[in-house]
Amino acid sequence: MSDAIRMSDALNAAILSVAVISPDEQLRKAATSALSECNKGPIQEFIAYPSTLHEVPRALGSSFDVVVVDLDSDTEYALELVETISNNNLSIAIALSSQADPRLLLRCMRAGAREFLTLPLERGDMAQALHRVSALRSSVHPGKTTEGRLLVFLGAKGGSGVTTLACSVAVSLAKDLKQRTLLIDLNLPLGDVAINLGIRPEHSIVSAFQNSGRLDSHLLSTLLVRHDSGLSVLAAPSELGLTYVSVDAIDKLLKVAREEFDFVVVDAGSVLDMQRKHLFDSSTTIYLVTQAGIPELRNSHRLISQLSATGGPRLEIVLNRYGARSLTIDDAHIARALTRPPNWKIPNDFAAVRRMQDTTIPLTEETSPISRAIRNMAQSICGQSIAAPEKKKKFSLFG
C-alpha cells in the first residue's frame, strides 16, 4: 500500500465506537479487520448474540455509535436483534452476511439496518458504509451536548505509581464500563503510557501541539492509537525533546478531546504547573496519588493546600501501595498529614504490578485486591454503586 493511500485513509478515518456481534470467529475477525483500517474509534467484539432480546439495551446501552450484526449464524434471531437495536434507538445497525440475497436485504432494511454488507468485503466497502453512517449520525444525533469529564492523575512525588493507576482506570472505563475514553500522556518530556500498555504509536502528543492551530476531532483521530481494551491513547514522544508546551496548545487539545470522548484521562506526572489552569477548573477531578512515606505526605500536604486555595477542581486522594500491616505511619497520622482520610486505598501488590509491566496485560484483567480497587474507582467515576467487599469465611471444623 502506498504512503499516499495510507495518508488518505488516515485523514478519512471515522472515529466511531463500534460493536461487532457474531458467534462466528472468522466473520467477526473479517469485520474488525475492515473496521480497523477505516475507524479510529474503539471496537468491541461480542462472541455471542445476547441470550434474550430483553438484554440488548443493558448489554449495549448507549456505548456504541454503530453495531455490526452477523446475519448468518442465526438469521431470524439476528433480524430481531437488528430490529430491537433500531427500535430502541440504541445505535445504527449494519448487517453483515455472505448471502447476496435481495430478499434478505429487504428484510434487513425493514428491520431498521442502515447498511447491508456482503462477504468477502472488498477494500473500501466498510469505509464507505461508515462514511454514510457518520453523515446519518450527524443529522440524527448532532453531537454531544455536554463535554466529557476530565480526570487528571497527579503524583505527589516521582515514582508514586501515577502512570500505572491512570492506565488501569482508563482501561477499566473503556473495557469494563464501555465508555468512550481517551488517555493522554502529558507526563512530558518522556511518559511511559505506551510502554505500560504495550502499544507502538505512530504519532505522539507533539503532533497535536505542533498543529494546535488546526487541531480538530478529525485531526486528533489520526494521532490516536487504540488499545485492545477499546481505549484510545495519545502517547508522549518516544524521544527526548519537547520540554515546554504553551497553555493555549494544551487548552485546545483538551477542548477537542472532551468534545469527542465521555472521559479524558490525563497522566500529568508529578509536576504541578498551576499556569495550566484548564487542568484545574471546576469541571476537573484531580486524583492526587501519594504513598505513606514522609516525603510523599509532606508534598501531598503542600499540594492539597495549593489546590484547595484555588477553589477549582474536585480533589480525590489516592493512597497507593497501601498495606495496613507494613505501615510505619498509622492511618490517623496519614489523615492528619493529608488534612483528611484518603478517598481511595490501593493495596500494595508488587507481584501483580510487575506481571503487568512484564506482560503489558492490564491489572484489571486478573482477580486481585488491586484490580478490585481500580474497578471500584472506575465504577465510582461513572456513578455506579460499589459492591461491598466479600467477608472472609471463618474457619470451622464442621463446614
Q: What pLDDT is stored for residue 9 in this prediction?
A: 43
Residue burial 206-216, b: 16+ Cβ < 10 Å; e: rest: bbbbeebeebe
Whether residue 193 sits in one domain with residue 129: no
393 in any annotated domain: no
Q: Is the pTM of this model over 0.75?
A: no
Q: What pLDDT is stored for residue 218 in this prediction?
A: 78
Of 140, 157, 184, the residue at which a domain comes to its end is 140
Whether residue 188 sits in one domain with residue 65: no
Whether residue 246 sits in one domain with residue 120: no
Measured in degrees and rounded to the nearest 5, phi and psi for residue 126 equal: -70, -40
Whether residue 206 sits in one domain with residue 235: yes
Q: What pLDDT is stored for residue 393 in this prediction?
A: 47
222 in any annotated domain: yes
386 in any annotated domain: no
Closest CA to 316 of 344, 290, 295, 336: 344
Distance spanning both ends of the chain, measured CA to CA: 66
Q: Is the separation of the CB atoms in 177 and 379 below 8 Å? A: yes
CA 239, CA 295: separation in Å to the nearest integer? 30
Q: For every one of its 399 residues, what pLDDT tens digit does the chain have, with 9 covering 90 and above?
A: 443 333 344 335 567 889 999 999 999 999 999 998 888 888 889 999 998 888 787 777 666 889 999 999 999 999 999 998 887 777 899 999 998 888 999 999 889 899 999 999 988 899 999 888 877 665 544 455 578 899 999 999 888 899 999 999 999 999 888 898 999 999 887 789 999 999 988 889 999 998 888 888 878 888 888 888 889 999 998 777 666 688 888 989 999 999 889 999 999 988 766 555 566 677 789 999 999 888 889 999 988 888 776 666 789 999 998 886 666 788 888 999 899 999 999 998 877 888 887 787 888 777 888 999 999 999 999 887 665 555 544 444 444
321 in any annotated domain: yes
CATH number, domain at 63? 3.40.50.2300
Whether residue 269 sits in one domain with residue 307: yes
Alpha-carbon distances, residue 224 vs 234, 257, 307 (angstroms): 5, 11, 31
Residue in the block written with cell 508529578: 270
Whether residue 308 sits in one domain with residue 231: yes
CA 146, CA 267: separation in Å to the nearest integer? 23
CATH number, domain at 293? 3.40.50.300
13 in any annotated domain: yes
Q: What pLDDT is stored for residue 265 in this prediction?
A: 97
Residue in the block written with cell 488499545: 227
All three cell numbers of 333: 497520622
Whether residue 157 sits in one domain with residue 59: no
User: Which domain range does residue 57 map to?
Assistant: 3-140
Whether residue 60 sits in one domain with residue 11: yes
Residue burial 238-248, b: 16+ Cβ < 10 Å; e: rest: eeeebeebeee
Closest CA to 197 of 377, 359, 312: 359
Q: What pLDDT is stored for residue 217 in this prediction?
A: 82
Q: Is the separation of the CB atoms in 134 and 115 below 8 Å? A: no
160 in any annotated domain: yes
CA 137, CA 131: separation in Å to the nearest integer? 10
396 in any annotated domain: no
Of 140, 166, 198, the residue at which a domain comes to its end is 140
Of 83, 107, 140, the residue at which a domain comes to its end is 140
Sign, Cα dihedral of 256, 196, 277, 382: positive
Q: What pLDDT is stored for residue 150 in this prediction?
A: 94
Whether residue 304 sits in one domain with residue 213: yes
Whether residue 154 sits in one domain with residue 44: no
Q: What pLDDT is stored for residue 11 in this prediction?
A: 37
Q: What pLDDT is stored for residue 287 in this prediction?
A: 95
Q: Are strands 225-226 and 232-234 parallel, antiparallel or unpaired?
A: antiparallel
Q: Is the separation of the CB atoms in 169 and 283 below 8 Å? A: no
Q: Determine whether 269 is exposed, middle or buried from the number of CB atoms within 10 Å of its CB (0-12, 13-18, 19+).
A: buried
Tally the domains of the chain: 2
Q: What pLDDT is stored for residue 383 in this prediction?
A: 84
Whether residue 129 sits in one domain with residue 266: no
Whether residue 286 sits in one domain with residue 170: yes
